[in-house]
Amino acid sequence: MSTILSISDFLKKSEHIPIIDVRSPAEFEAGHIVGAINLPIFSNEERAKVGTLYKQKGKNEAVILGLEIVGTKLAEFSRTALSVAKQNQLLVYCWRGGMRSASMAWLFEKVGIETFTLYGGYKTYRNHIIETFDKIKKLVVLGGYTGSGKTEILEEIKECGEQVLNLEQIAHHKGSTFGALGELENQPSSEHFANLLFHELQKFDLHKPIWVEDESKRIGTIHLPDNFFENLRTSFLIKLNVELNYRIERLINDYGNFKKTELINAIHRISKRLGDKNSNLAIEAINSGNLADAVVISLNYYDKTYGFGLSKRNAEFIKEIQLISKEKENFAKQIIQFYYKECL
């Protein structure tokens, strides 16, 4: 008989035992425990049929249909489990820790695999994630206008030994209308973004400062978890002030190698906010190779948007630091020193 574990014990064991998610492919795609392997008892269509029958004729009829569907798959399930198991052990979960995970655990035990299931299933995992976000004691938010180099500076702060969360890296998007350019992977769902965020937080001491870039509620198509976003908006923010020319140069370096059509499509996506005149001027500048003018036009919009968001914060929790571009090799150290001197 399989052993039922709490979420803490389940996650601890997952450090060295593979995880099997037996939910449908659609459920798995929407979000799953990071690192889990999908071995669905039912396909999306099969799950729908069983669910419909349960509502129409009750549990017994649904269970019988489920057995008919699964019967021909048992051997393949067993072969896959044996190939995936490490030290003859597996972790298994479904949505609520009910029949699907219990049935698959029973099968795995029959072929000699020691199996552990998650009490409360994926639903418990999701609740645990939300609770963990509430336990973060100190976010240090790095802010500043578009092109200030926040992401790069955060990576340097990380190299200095600080705890850093790269939200844009997790989201596979850089935040602006140009943010998807150069990304090799599609964005995760908002649900799975939260799972990935939690996975990163497991590496951190939640009582020590965690550095993060200032973001809006949305990064591309994903929405930040409500309680995490609330923490981000009410935490100390260090606003970077750098020269405009430095910002323009950085943005040209970051996006200047993309195709003109990609840049123009990005302008079209914010044309209502830029206005027809500015949109046309930006597109003309891109077509003529004058990227600096296109950047300046775009920054007029982004700077106003960021300034408005900044005005919604408590001014007492905003500290500004002036950075000189010729000293950019020392930006990270300057900012760390500034935080521990001015913000604690």
Tell me the mean pLDDT in the region 322-326.
Answer: 86
Report domain extents, the chain: 3-129, 135-342
Alpha carbon distance 96, 274 (integer Å): 47
Alpha carbon distance 221, 250 (integer Å): 25
Kindly tell me if the per-residue pLDDT of 68 is higher than 90.
no
Give the pLDDT confidence of 197-227 residue by residue, as tens digits. 999 999 999 999 999 999 999 999 999 999 9
Alpha carbon distance 133, 201 (integer Å): 9
Q: Which residue has the tokens 């996975």?
A: 199
Annotated catalytic residue, options 94, 118, 170, 181 = 94
pTM: 0.92
- Give CA 181 to chain center in angstroms: 17
Kindly tell me if the per-residue pLDDT of 43 is higher than 90.
no
SS3 141: strand
**CATH assignment of 135-342?**
3.40.50
Question: In sequence order, what are the residues at sequence separation of 6 or more whose Cβ sits closer than 8 angstroms to the Cβ of residue 48?
Answer: none
- Judged by average pLDDT, the poorest of 53-67, 229-243, 245-259 is 53-67
Q: Looking at residue 55, what is its pLDDT?
A: 79
pLDDT band at 40; cut points 50, 70, 90: very high
Question: In sequence order, what are the residues at sequence separation of 6 or more whose Cβ sits closer than 8 angstroms to the Cβ of residue 62?
Answer: 50, 51, 53, 54
Q: Is 160 a catalytic residue?
A: no
Counting Cβ atoms within 10 Å, is residue 209 exposed (0-12), middle (13-18) or buried (19+)?
Answer: buried
Q: Looking at residue 42, what is its pLDDT?
A: 86
Alpha-carbon torsion, ordered 44, 46, 48, 49, to 10 deg: 170
SS3 219: strand
SS3 91: strand
Token pair for 208: 């020590």
Question: In sequence order, what are the residues at sequence separation of 6 or more whose Cβ sits closer than 8 angstroms to the Cβ of residue 212?
Answer: 139, 140, 141, 142, 154, 164, 165, 167, 232
Give the pLDDT confidence of 164-184 residue by residue, as tens digits. 999 999 999 988 888 888 888
SS3 240: strand
Strand order in the sheet with 37-38: 3-5, 114-118, 89-93, 19-21, 37-38
The yes/no answer on whether domain 3-129 falls in CATH 3.40.250.10 is yes
Q: What is the mean pLDDT of the chain?
A: 92
Q: Looking at residue 177, what is its pLDDT?
A: 84
Provide the phi-psi class of 100: left if phi over 0, else alpha when psi is between -120 and 50, else beta: alpha
SS3 278: helix
Q: Looking at residue 198, what is its pLDDT?
A: 98
Kindly tell me if the per-residue pLDDT of 230 is higher than 90.
yes
Q: Looking at residue 207, what is its pLDDT?
A: 93
Kindly tell me if the per-residue pLDDT of 163 is higher than 80.
yes
Instruction: Tell me the CA distances in angstroms from 294 to 64, 173, 174, 255, one per residue in order.
Output: 64, 21, 18, 11
Tell me the mean pLDDT in the region 149-169.
Answer: 95
Say which residue, 180 or 60, is predicted with more confidence.
Answer: 180
Residue 67: Cβ within 10 Å count: 10
Instruction: State the Cα angle at 323 between 318 and 328, rounded to 5°.
Output: 130
Q: Are 53 and 37 in contact (CB under 8 A)?
A: no
Kindly tell me if the per-residue pLDDT of 45 is higher than 90.
no
